[in-house]
Structures are given as C-alpha cells and as structure tokens.
C-alpha cells in the first residue's frame, strides 16, 4: 500500500492513512526470546488476532560498557523490526532510555553509577550526555524502519512511566527532543498508571494508561486531561511477575478476558503487557522495592502468566483472547502455528567439580571496600553483575556487623569455612574462635538492581560501605570479581577440574555432560536438592536458580543445544546433600559419592 499518512491521534479514534484504526497490540521483547524463536512467537501473536508488536530497547544490553555498542545476534533490533514488518505486524517502539520491564536497573547501564553524584532520569549533565551518546547510535538504526520510510514503526514512546518518578520537569521535554532531533517522525506516546498521568505527559505526545483492573474513573480521568483523543491502554497487565520467596502469581484467564472485552467495548485500543514474556537469561532480572522494607529480586522466568508461556506454549488465555479478537477482523484469523516440541532426557550425573576459590583472579587491593560499579574492571566500566569476593585478615573472633552495607547477600567464610549469611535482614554474625591471623571472606552477590521506584540512584552493589568486627571498621581488602560474563567458563581448563571421587568444597562449580542423540528440542532443567546458584549450557547463562521458589526449573531453549555432548556447568553455593561410602565388589578403596548428584531435564515447568 502507498504510504501517505501514518498513525494519527487527531480525534477520538486513531487513523492510519486517514482510515479508522484500532491498535490490538502485544509486548514481546526480542532480548528475552532466543532469536531462533522470534518468528514463531510473532506468528503466534498474529494468529491470535493482534496487529501490533510493542518492544522495549534495553540500553544496558546494547551498551554494556561506555562507548561499546552491540546490535548483533540476539540484539539485532533491526532484524526484529524487519521480521515484524514482513509478517504484517505494526510496531510501537519503546526505546527508553529507562524501560522498567522488571529488568536490571530498568535497562539503564550500571556504569552510570560510577559517578557518585549521578541522578538518573533527570537532566543531570552526565546522564544526558550518556543518553545522547546512546541515542546517536540507536535512533539512526530505528529511523529507516518508520512507517514514513516504508517500515513497520507507527509510534514511538517517550521514556516510560515517568509520572511515577517525576524528579525533573525538564527531563521529558529533553527525551522528546532527543527523539525528534534524530529523525523520529511517527506519533509520540507516553505511558503511565492513573496517578502517573498527573506528571508523566509531555506536550505533543499522546498520553496512554496502564492498568490490570478496569476502573471507569481512571478512564474518565484520562479523557478529562486529554479530551477528543484516542484512548489506549498501553500496558494491560495480562499477569504479573514473580519474586524469589513469594508465591507464583496467577491472574485467571476468565478475569483477564472479561476486562479485555470491556476495554474493546469502550472503543479503546489495547496493548497486552505482556503477550509473551520469555526469560530473564543471565543476571538481567530486576528487583522490586515498592512497599517493602528491603528489595526482593525477580525470578529468572518472565512467564508472567501471559497468553503465551515462557516456552511459547498456547494457554487458556491465548485461546480466549483469540476468540475475542477474531470479532474485530473482517477475515478469518491465520491458522495456529504448530506447537513447539519438547524433550525430556535421562538424569545427568555430575562428573567433576572445581572450587570457586581456584577460579578467581585478583581484581583490586583497597584499604576500604569498593562497590562493584567502581572496581577497575571491564575497561574501567566496573562490574555490572554476578559476585564479588572481599577478603581481609582478622586476628580475633567476635561480632561481624555489616552496617547494612551489603548489597545484596553475602556468604561469610573464615579460613574458607562457612560461617553464615549476611543480607538486609541479618546484619550481624558471630565469628568462631581461632588463633593467629585468619582470612575473612565475604562472597557478595548482586541479586538484581531495583527497576522501578525512587531508589534507582542507590543501586550500587557489593560492599557499599564499611563493615565492622567488634565495632571496628575492617581495612585492607583484596577484592576479586566474578561477573561470569559470556566466555568466562573458557578459563576452566581440563586440568582444573577434580573428579567427584574427591569431596568438593563450597562454593563450587560442577560439570556434567548432556548427550542429545536427536535434533535438539526445548527442555527444562530441574536441580533437586541444589540450593542457589547459576546454570550454564554450552557457555550460555540460563539464569539464577534458588530452592526457595516459586520457580523450580530453568528453561533450556532447543537452539542452545546441539547433537552430541552438551556442557552443563552449575555454580552452586551449597547442595543439600550427604556423602556415602561405597566399597566396590572385590575392592578395598573407598569411593565417596554425592547422593544428590544429578540434574533432571523435563518437558514441563512445574
């Protein structure tokens, strides 16, 4: 079709090419879905009756170090946009720079926090300089994919839910101008909950609303501040995210579809957040601090109880929605794409282990503790994710007090013997008696930075201040970084690994081999009896696991496996296990075996 006039909001209805147009949208984030499955998920979206894809852009993935930009492979945004267009889907792009999204620091790169005076999401010069540098790279890739250029992008969102932050009245105009000055010409939008609408708008951008439960007072409020304009629910929350230690959230299909039906009856446009959540692979999940005494980290799965499951399966929500959306199409919807096959495997036996103490490299020496972001690593961009080991010498027992300066969780060792855990709740430990000089070690885990709320500027990790022994600050630290970046497992040569005949120390890495004798299919890995850590398949970080739940399995995408042997490495703090002595028939030597020594690969996510 010829392109004359893109999406417009000049009356109570959207128009596209001058004709009435209703946005039936859904969010699928390219950075949460294996690239090999992008097409499968988008085809399933279209078959459900949706006409518009929305996606965020995660700054911290595209610029992990200042000035080092990545737009290839899993992060090939242009390929994702081209794919959407080729499948007949329009796109609403949400480029941030802040995205929330239950993503570490709301998508902002942690190296921004190296500046002790940083004020995120404001016109603080060092923040706006960084935004300008990122947008210089990002927007030039986006512009050719706009509707006016023959591409699928019909609208672009200015920032994200700024009304819930609203610390700087000049910030939203700055972001808007940053988009326009670089060639964005399509309709501009903002997105806020009802309270955020009071402060989140910017002149020249259509305001939209976010909610899960329909409240007519909220709709009337939106209509009142923006009369004679199209009304849109930019985020209709199809489910909710999960936090470690909480129950799994469920929003029933019937309740969800009832609200969607009412929204459409009101002649509103809608975007399902999310239509398909995918996975927070690696260390990218965020944390929640709203209404809590301390932050709680998000789980690895971003299933969200969405219409398509974490693994791309159809759900009851999907089928009910398809029935509703079909009424808003003049022609029958496409047939459903085939179900993605999965495969279970025989339990995998752990073969080797490697002590974490043997895998660390010296990072820094410092009189005082240094937080992760200010460590001299990654080309002086600091450490973004993972773990940091702080060690110092002590000559006495007594009370160790964290002074609430541990972010977020520390395993405490004396002479490599485990003593206990320090975190937001537990801030004191009694150290055991001992003679002479001993090494005190604190393995500090960054469990995920808060992604929403007013504490973004405070999301530095590691040791963020002094810790005290018997009320005296500890000094003279040796600091080691363990960020587990892609490729880090390559440092483990075969000579480092120990046989399981030898009792492991903790924390440790454990290695196994998964043999796949047919074309690889999706599976889930279950770790019965394992406590907390991270799993790698062929060098790819599947994400965190934690026995406290609610998540009990990790999703393993089929495209990340290959026929033959697949390397499985599990980083674990502890295993709930016991050791047994086995005397072989006719033998005299004892073989120590770990009873909880296997990993299970299953077809469902319980």
- pLDDT bin (cut points 50, 70, 90) of residue 512 is very high
51 in a domain, yes or no? yes
- The reply to whether 177 belongs to the active site is no
Of residues 375, 370, 392, the one with CA closest to residue 475 = 392
Q: Alpha-carbon distance 398 to 403, whole Å?
A: 15
Q: Which residues of 74-109 are buried (b: 16+ CB within 10 A; e: fewer)?
A: bbbbeebbebbbebebbbbbbbbbbbbbbbbbbbbb
339 in a domain, yes or no? no
How far is CA 488 from each of CA 105, 190, 239, 379, 536, rounded to the nearest angstrom? 23, 40, 35, 16, 11
* 43 in the same domain as 28: yes
The conformational region for residue 228 under phi > 0 = left, psi -120 to 50 = alpha, else beta, is left
Tokens of 102: 């239950």
* 400 in the same domain as 303: no
* 165 in the same domain as 56: yes
Q: Which of 462, 482, 502 is the last residue of a domain?
A: 482
Q: Which of 482, 505, 524 is the last residue of a domain?
A: 482
- pLDDT bin (cut points 50, 70, 90) of residue 606 is low
* 249 in the same domain as 125: yes
pLDDT of residue 137: 99
Mean pLDDT of 307-321: 99
Name the catalytic one among 207, 235, 373, 445.
235
Asked whether residue 233 carries a pLDDT value surpassing 50, the answer given is yes
338 in a domain, yes or no? no
How far is CA 318 from each of CA 253, 306, 313, 322, rounded to the nearest angstrom? 9, 8, 9, 6
Tokens of 300: 């690895």
In tens, the pLDDT along 455-477 reads 999 999 999 999 999 999 999 99
Of residues 273, 279, 274, 237, the one with CA closest to residue 31 = 279
pLDDT of residue 123: 99
CATH number for the domain spanning 502: value is 2.60.120.260
pLDDT of residue 597: 57
- Structural domain count, the chain: 3
Q: What is the DSSP letter of 475?
A: -
pLDDT of residue 579: 35
- The reply to whether 5 belongs to the active site is no
* 227 in the same domain as 135: yes
335 in a domain, yes or no? no
* 586 in the same domain as 570: yes
* 192 in the same domain as 107: yes
pLDDT of residue 338: 96
Rounded to two decimals, what is the model's pTM? Answer: 0.95
Percent of the chain with pLDDT over 70: 95
Regarding beta strands 579-582 and 287-288, do their DSSP bridges make them parallel or antiparallel, or are they unpaired?
A: unpaired
Q: What is the DSSP letter of 339?
A: P
In tens, the pLDDT along 327-378 reads 999 999 999 999 989 999 988 989 999 988 887 877 899 999 999 999 999 9
* 156 in the same domain as 244: yes
- pLDDT bin (cut points 50, 70, 90) of residue 434 is confident
What is the chain's mean pLDDT, rounded? 93
pLDDT of residue 495: 65
* Sign of CA pseudo-dihedral 208, 140, 152, 315: negative
pLDDT of residue 361: 76
pLDDT of residue 489: 76
* 500 in the same domain as 477: no
Domain, as residue range, for 526: 345-354+492-602
Q: Alpha-carbon distance 466 to 475, whole Å?
A: 9
Mean pLDDT of 40-55: 99
Residue 253 C-alpha from the chain's centroid: 25
CATH number for the domain spanning 114: value is 3.20.20.80
* 153 in the same domain as 99: yes
Q: Is 133 helix (H, G, I), strand (E, B) or coil?
A: helix
- pLDDT bin (cut points 50, 70, 90) of residue 211 is very high
* 189 in the same domain as 280: yes
Percent of the chain with pLDDT over 90: 86
Contact (CB, 8 A) for 495 and 512:
no
Mean pLDDT of 272-300: 97
pLDDT of residue 574: 61
Q: Which of 430, 447, 482 is the last residue of a domain?
A: 482
Tokens of 555: 């999703």
Burial of residue 183, with CB atoms counted within 10 A of its CB: 0-12 exposed, 13-18 middle, 19 or more buried: middle
Regarding beta strands 24-28 and 553-556, do their DSSP bridges make them parallel or antiparallel, or are they unpaired?
A: unpaired
Unique residue bearing structure tokens 């290839």: 72
Contact (CB, 8 A) for 75 and 29:
no
* 500 in the same domain as 478: no
């Amino acid at each position: 079709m010829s392109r004359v006039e893109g999406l417009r909001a000049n009356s109570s209805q959207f128009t596209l090419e001058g004709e009435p147009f209703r946005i039936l949208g859904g969010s699928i984030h390219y950075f949460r879905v294996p690239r090999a499955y992008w097409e499968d998920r988008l085809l399933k979206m279209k078959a459900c009756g949706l006409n518009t894809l929305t996606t965020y852009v995660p700054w911290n993935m595209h610029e992990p170090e200042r000035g080092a930009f990545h737009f290839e492979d899993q992060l090939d945004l242009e390929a994702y946009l081209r794919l959407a267009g080729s499948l007949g889907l329009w796109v609403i792009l949400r480029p941030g720079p802040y995205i929330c999204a239950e993503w570490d620091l709301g998508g902002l790169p942690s190296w921004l926090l190296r500046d002790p005076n940083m004020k995120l999401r404001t016109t603080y010069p060092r923040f706006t300089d960084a935004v300008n540098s990122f947008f210089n790279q990002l927007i030039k890739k986006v512009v050719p994919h706009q509707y006016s250029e023959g591409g699928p992008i019909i609208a672009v969102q200015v920032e994200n839910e700024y009304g819930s932050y609203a610390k700087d009245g000049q910030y939203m105009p700055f972001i808007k101008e940053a988009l326009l000055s670089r060639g964005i010409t399509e309709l501009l939008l903002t997105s806020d909950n009802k309270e955020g609408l009071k402060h989140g708008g910017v002149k020249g951008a259509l305001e939209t609303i976010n909610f899960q439960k329909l409240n007519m007072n909220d709709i009337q409020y939106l209509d009142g501040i923006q009369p004679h304009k199209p009304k849109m629910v930019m985020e209709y929350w199809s489910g909710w995210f999960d936090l470690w230690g909480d129950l799994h959230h469920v929003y029933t299909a019937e309740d969800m579809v009832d609200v969607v039906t009412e929204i459409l009856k009101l002649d509103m446009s809608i975007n399902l957040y999310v239509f398909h959540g995918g996975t927070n692979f690696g260390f990218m999940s965020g944390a929640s601090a709203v209404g809590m005494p301390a932050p709680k980290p998000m789980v690895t799965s971003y299933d969200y109880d969405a219409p398509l499951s974490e693994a791309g399966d159809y759900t009851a929500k999907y089928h009910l929605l398809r029935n509703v959306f079909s009424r808003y199409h003049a022609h029958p919807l496409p047939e459903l794409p085939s179900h993605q096959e999965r495969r279970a495997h025989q339990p995998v036996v752990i073969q080797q282990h490697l002590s974490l103490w043997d895998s660390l490299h010296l990072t820094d020496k410092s009189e005082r503790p240094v937080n992760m972001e200010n460590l001299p690593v990654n080309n002086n961009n600091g450490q973004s994710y993972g773990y940091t080991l702080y060690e110092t010498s002590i000559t006495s027992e007594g009370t160790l007090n964290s002074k609430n300066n541990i972010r977020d969780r520390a395993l405490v060792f004396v002479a490599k013997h485990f003593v206990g855990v320090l975190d937001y709740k537990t801030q004191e430990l009694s150290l055991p008696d001992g003679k002479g000089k001993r090494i005190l070690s604190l393995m500090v885990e960054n469990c995920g930075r808060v992604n929403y709320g007013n504490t973004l500027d405070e999301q530095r990790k590691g040791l963020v201040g002094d810790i005290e022994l018997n009320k005296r600050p500890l000094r003279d630290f040796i600091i080691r970084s363990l960020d587990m970046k892609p490729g880090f497992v390559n440092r483990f040569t075969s000579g480092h690994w120990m046989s399981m005949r030898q009792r492991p120390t903790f924390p440790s890495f454990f290695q196994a081999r998964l043999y796949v004798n047919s074309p690889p299919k999706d599976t889930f890995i279950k770790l019965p009896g394992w406590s907390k850590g991270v799993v790698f398949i062929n060098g790819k970080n599947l994400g965190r696991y934690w026995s406290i739940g609610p998540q009990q399995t990790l999703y393993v995408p089929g495209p990340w496996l290959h026929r033959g042997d697949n390397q499985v490495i599990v980083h674990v703090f502890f295993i709930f296990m016991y050791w047994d002595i086995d005397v072989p028939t006719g033998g005299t030597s004892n073989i120590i075996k770990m009873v909880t020594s296997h990993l299970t690969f299953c077809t469902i996510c319980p």
